[in-house]
Amino acid sequence: MRLAAAAALLLAAAGCAHSPPRNTGPELFAVIPGNGGHVGSIVVRAEGPEQVLDQAYSAARVSADGSAQAARLSAEEVQRDFGGTISALPGRPTSFTLYFLEGRDELTPASRLEMEKVFAELKRRPAPDIVVIGHTDTVGNLGYNDKLSLARAERMRELMIGLGIPPGRIQAAGRGKRELLVQTEDNTSEPRNRRVEISVR
C-alpha cells in the first residue's frame, strides 16, 4: 500500500509514528484540519479503486487483505483516538510581517497592535523556535540599511526575550535592502519594505 500526502495530517490507527507491517491488521488513514481549518488531500492506494480523501475528517480503513473502505470520523472520535498523537506533533509554522517607521527601529502604530498576535502565538507554543528577519526600503546606502534591518530584528528579539522566551530559541538577522517586498528605484521611501518577517514554529 502506498500513500501520498499533501498539507494534511496522516494518522495510523495504531496511534504510533510507524505504520504496522503490511497485512498484519487494519489501518486507518484520516485527513485532519490544520490551522484555520485548512485541509489538503491524501490518496490511499490499496486493492481495488484508490481512495481520495480531501474533506475534513474523511478517512479510509484498509483491512488486512488490502481492501480499502471509505469512512468518516467526527472531531470527537479523532480527539478520543488520536489526541495524544496530535498533541505530540510539532505545530505548523506561523508567519507575521510587522512594519516600521522610516529610518527607525520603532513599529508603526498598526504593527504595535499586530504584535499582540505574535505574543499570543508565542505563549501558545511551549517551546517555540523563532526566526526574525529585518528589512529596509532603499533609502540610504547598503551599510546603513544593513545596520537598520538588524536593529529592527534585534528589537523584536528583545521584546520576545522580555516575554520569557529563551534567547537561544530566537534567531535574528538583517537583510538590509536586498530582499524588497515591493521593487523600487534606489533611495525610494516605501513603507511596505520597512518590515520584519517573523516565523514561529
Query: Does 169 lie in the same domain as 144?
Result: yes
Strands (E), the chain: 2-6, 27-30, 41-45, 51-53, 58-62, 68-72, 94-99, 130-134, 170-174, 195-200
Residues in contact with 94: Cβ distance below 8 Å, sequence separation at least 6, in sequence order: 35, 121, 199, 200, 201
- pTM tops 0.75, yes or no: no
State mean pLDDT over 53-65: 83
CA–CA distance, 179 with 71 (Å, rounded to integer): 47
Query: Taking Cα atoms as reference points, which of 191, 181, 132, 183 lies closest to residue 158?
Result: 132
The domain of 175 spans 94-200
Predicted confidence (pLDDT) at residue 27 exceeds the cutoff of 90 = no
Q: What is the pLDDT of residues 36-52, one digit of tens each?
A: 667 778 888 777 778 78
pLDDT of residue 36: 62
Predicted confidence (pLDDT) at residue 130 exceeds the cutoff of 90 = yes
Query: Does 189 lie in the same domain as 138?
Result: yes
Query: Does 191 lie in the same domain as 115?
Result: yes
Query: Regarding beta strands 195-200 and 94-99, do their DSSP bridges make them parallel or antiparallel, or are they unpaired?
Result: antiparallel
Arithmetic mean of pLDDT over the chain: 83
Q: Torsion angle of alpha carbons 65, 66, 72, 75, nearest 10°?
A: 90
pLDDT classification of 141: cutoffs 50, 70, 90: very high
Predicted confidence (pLDDT) at residue 26 exceeds the cutoff of 80 = no
Query: Does 84 lie in the same domain as 11?
Result: yes
Predicted confidence (pLDDT) at residue 16 exceeds the cutoff of 50 = no
